[in-house]
Amino acid sequence: MLNNKEYLNKIFQSNKPLIIYKTIGGFDVYTDFKERIVLNSKNFKSFLNIKCNKLNSKIRELNCYVGFFGYELLCENINIKLPKQETLNFYPGLVYKPQTIIKIRKNITIKSLLKDFRKKIPSQKNYNYFYEKKFNLNLNEVQYSNLFKYFSKKIKMGETYQIKICQTYSNKSNIDSVNFFWKLMSINESPESFLIRDKDYSIISCSPEMLIKKKKNTIITKPIAGTLNRTKKMTTKYARSYFKKNEKESKEHNMIVDMERNDLSRICRSGSVKISKLKSVEKYRDLYHYVTEIKGLLKDKTTNHDIISAMMPGGSVIGCPKINTLKLLNSRERLNRNIYTGSFGYINANGDMHFSIIIRSILNFKKRSEISAASGVVIDSKPKKEYKENYIKAKSLLDLFKL
């Protein structure tokens, strides 16, 4: 019989579908999926409001659906149609119902609804992993600048106040996602990191951004707006004073704070929405972020779907105001965002949920890896700087392909 560690290593080395999710003090691994539901704009609402309420697992940690909602699904959910774009025909959204959870802390503990879960390991095969080191970028600097100028005009006319232009790097590859994920965690572990590995695709993310944390009737969001390229000698103290003094970063951040207060106010009791932590600085491998935490108390009878519709897609990665800015973005972006700026997380049977914004991620599908990054156009931004910022945001992921 395999012990816990041997079992875990075996499933990592196989191609067994699983999800790894960063949690406080370690990682949770979900596997032995009983259900796998492909979400679309037709079944999304009933999934959230009906199916999620019918969960009844004997093990509390397994009484949930884990998965992701893609960008297009979240747009359609708030009645924003995307025009025809270049697309991989990737899943609009996928959720899984796990029957086994492996908790990686100081020790490894396992809970499972299956008696013989240790035997459920696919036999080893050769998986033909390969990857190119080089990436193609969908927008070069000139194309980016042109788009930037177009959106700057729209800001001058008041049609948007802030808009995030997305760039996508892609290459040919079929990656060993679990291996990539642990490499990523060793260099850039961030609070919302996750991996999904399924038979036909994988997603690896070191997202730092929490969009929804709901426990009973309390809901918290923690938008990020403001990025500083981190050099070796830089201190958090320096970063704090940089953000404070930098008018452009401050204003960009202010706007996102008011927007997220608004989104919470749609579903929260009047007067309950409060800024709980204004403008803190968080440190990552290549950069510093400017972060605010906002809290509210949900109105009675707010459904899962009400919450998702008010909060997603997360405003900080779109721009402001949300609806018109989404329309502007979609009118100009030629490439489908797929998972980028969608959300990953779980919903429990009791309605508690936790979702991040999918950024800093690799989608590996159809022998292709893609990494997207976006930064904001506000009135004072410069195309060259924002272009570079996108590269910095993607860097720790791009670097994985150089090792």
Partner 1 sequence: MIYVIDHEDSFTYNLVHLFENFGQTYVSNYFNIDKKKLDACKIIVFSPGPGEPSHYPETQKIYYQYRGLKKIIGICLGYQQILYAEKGQIIPQKKIYHGYQSRIKVLRESLIFKPNKILIGGRYHSLKLKEPFSSKTLKITMRCVETNVAMAIEDTINSVYGFQFHPDSFLTVDGKFLIQKILQA
| Cβ atoms of residues 335 and 251 within 8 Å | no
Nearer to partner 1, 175 or 268 (CB): 268
Rg (CA), the chain: 21
Is residue 15 a contact residue for partner 1 (CB under 8 A)? no
Least distance to partner 1 from the beta carbon of 202, Å? 34
Nearer to partner 1, 13 or 280 (CB): 280
| CB-CB neighbours of 308 under 10 Å | 24
> Helices (DSSP H) in 266-399: which residue ranges?
304-311, 322-332, 383-398
Nearer to partner 1, 92 or 226 (CB): 226
Considering only 257, 317, 353, 398, the residue that binds partner 1 (CB under 8 A) is 257
Least distance to partner 1 from the beta carbon of 397, Å? 29
Considering only 156, 233, 301, 402, the residue that binds partner 1 (CB under 8 A) is 156
Q: Identify the bridge partners of residue 164 per DSSP, sorted by sequence position.
A: 376
* Residues 6 or more apart whose Cβ sits within 8 Å of residue 115: none
388: alpha, beta or left? (left if phi > 0; alpha if psi -120 to 50): alpha
Is residue 389 a contact residue for partner 1 (CB under 8 A)? no
Is residue 323 a contact residue for partner 1 (CB under 8 A)? yes
Is residue 275 a contact residue for partner 1 (CB under 8 A)? yes
Nearest to 339 by CA among 231, 223, 194, 188: 194
> Measured in Å, how far apart are the chain's first and last C-alpha atoms?
35
Is residue 80 a contact residue for partner 1 (CB under 8 A)? no
Nearer to partner 1, 65 or 148 (CB): 148
Is residue 61 a contact residue for partner 1 (CB under 8 A)? no
Is residue 191 a contact residue for partner 1 (CB under 8 A)? no
Binding segment (CB under 8 A) for partner 1, from list 10-18, 30-38, 315-323, 389-397: 315-323
Nearest to 52 by CA among 343, 345, 339: 345
Give 181-230 as a DSSP string: HHHHHHHH--TT-EEEE-SSEEEEE----EEEEEETTEEEEE-EEEEEE-
Is residue 379 a contact residue for partner 1 (CB under 8 A)? yes
Is residue 377 a contact residue for partner 1 (CB under 8 A)? no
- What is the H or E stretch that residue 97 is in? strand 93-104
Considering only 44, 71, 148, 161, the residue that binds partner 1 (CB under 8 A) is 161
SS3 for 299? coil
In three-state form (DSSP H/G/I as H, E/B as E, the rest C), the secondary structure along 276-293 is EEEEEEEECCCEEEEEEE
Nearer to partner 1, 27 or 161 (CB): 161
Is residue 309 a contact residue for partner 1 (CB under 8 A)? no
Is residue 263 a contact residue for partner 1 (CB under 8 A)? yes
Binding segment (CB under 8 A) for partner 1, from list 13-21, 92-100, 166-174, 265-273: 265-273
Considering only 40, 145, 262, 280, the residue that binds partner 1 (CB under 8 A) is 262
Is residue 253 a contact residue for partner 1 (CB under 8 A)? yes
Contact residues: partner 1, CB under 8 A: 155-162, 250-255, 257-259, 261-263, 265-266, 270-271, 273, 275, 315, 320-325, 378-379
